[in-house]
Amino acid sequence: MRGFARLLDGLVYTRSRNAKLRLIGAYLRATPDPDRGWALAALTGADDIPAIKPAVVRALIEERVDPVLFRMSRDYVGDTAETVALLWPGRAVADDPAALGLAAVVARLSTLGRSEAPAALAWLLDRMTPEERYALLKLATGGLRAGVSARLAKTAFAQAFALDVDAVEEVWHALAPPYAALFAWAEGRGEQPIAADMPVFRPFMLAHPLGEDQAAMDAYAAEWKWDGIRVQLVRVGGQVRLYSRGGDDITAAFPEVASAFDRDGVVDGELLVKGDAQGSAAHGGATASFNALQQRLGRKAVSARMLADYPAFVRLYDILFDGAETAARSPGPRAAPGSNASSPGSTRRASTCRCWSRRTAFQRLRHCAPAPATRRWRG
């Protein structure tokens, strides 16, 4: 746990993106399996210790220090994990180092029920330094808040082992912590993992600055900018996933969108909530503001009330895979004006297809006639 605590401490006090990449990369190269795999899982939000909740942590500390003192300290510090790490009355006790290793801690806490977890957590906190306690509490409650996104952590991994980050993204969701096969591939000890029959994420083609290049604007077309988030819907072998532009799995927050996608394939679009703040019937349907969409983002589960008040749908831009067959053509001209295609070489028109409530939407997308070649930009 000590090495992970040092990494987390360094990330919290480092603002530079490149410095964060170097810190993570150095840790992943120097740390053995499976500790580094669990650290990578924590940085990407893939770890899960369901029995440890903030309420458990608060109850433990209030048994050991005056509750008023804790609450006043928490208000001053602004972070429960940091407050508890500093106030915890125990001193680091010499014990078996292996029992305090990152992998051992995760293995122990993730298998316990809610009745057993508090005692196990207290046992660990009694044997750790304040820095280690802070790292443990952040890990256990699932909120590192170290200024590191899942994409940044994957980029650091790829750079540390001289891999293409897009290749890492394409196999990421087919693997599980502590990622032994991923590290074996990275270090040349194993083959590249294969994501067959898994609904994996495929990195988006995003806009980027032209730099000193000159562009003839008559070769481009502008289109409506919808105020939602870019997503990718993937269905393989009956399994459906909804991914954000950064590759985060957000399926649980939008179950109605996932359940309506009933044909194997991969599509690209904009996730929106129905409403009247932007667009109109002429644009393929009116939508609510981004604030409405934010009510649904970041949730592990949604209530029936939330589904009714903020109904979500996807306005399609492009079809990337039809079943197992790629729908992208060789690099070249992009989609025509008025379309929403975004994959290199695609000319399939999708501007009138905006939700997956019926199978006909997908069939309409597949059978639209190719449009004249031109180029377009998307932010």
Domain boundary among 80, 113, 141: 141
Indicate whether 230 and 106 sit together in one domain: no
Could you report the per-residue pLDDT of 165-195, keeping only the tens digit for each? 989 988 888 899 999 999 999 999 999 988 7
Domain-located, residue 367 = yes
| 105 and 231 together in one domain | no
Residue 273 sits in the same domain as residue 133: no
Residue 68: predicted pLDDT: 97
% of the chain with per-residue pLDDT over 70: 81
Listed residues 114, 141, 168: the one ending a domain: 141
Judgement on whether residues 32 and 127 belong to the same structural domain of the protein: yes
Q: Looking at the domain assignment, is residue 162 inside a domain?
A: no
Specify the CATH number for the domain of residue 136.
1.10.3260.10
Domain end (from 111, 141, 171): 141
- Give the model confidence (pLDDT) of 201-256 as tens digits: 888 877 777 777 777 777 766 667 788 999 999 999 889 999 998 888 899 999 99
Domain membership flag for residue 57? yes
- Choosing from 20, 53, 138, 225, which is the catalytic residue? 225
Amino acid at 223: E
306 in any annotated domain: yes
The percent of residues in the chain predicted with pLDDT above 90, rounded, is 57
Classify residue 261: in a domain, yes or no.
Answer: yes
In a domain, 101, yes or no: yes
Residues 129 and 224 in one domain: no
State residue 357's pLDDT score. Answer: 38
Q: How many domains, the chain?
A: 2
Annotated active-site residue 20? The verdict is no
**Does the residue 73 lie in any domain?**
yes
pTM, to two decimals: 0.72
- Give the pLDDT band of residue 284 (cuts 50, 70, 90): low
| Same-domain pairing of 248 and 365 | yes
Whether pLDDT at 151 is above 70: yes
Boundaries of domain holding 309: 217-376
Clarify whether residues 227 and 364 are in a common domain: yes
Average pLDDT over residues 306-316: 93
- Residue 251: predicted pLDDT: 94
Residue 161 lies in a domain: no
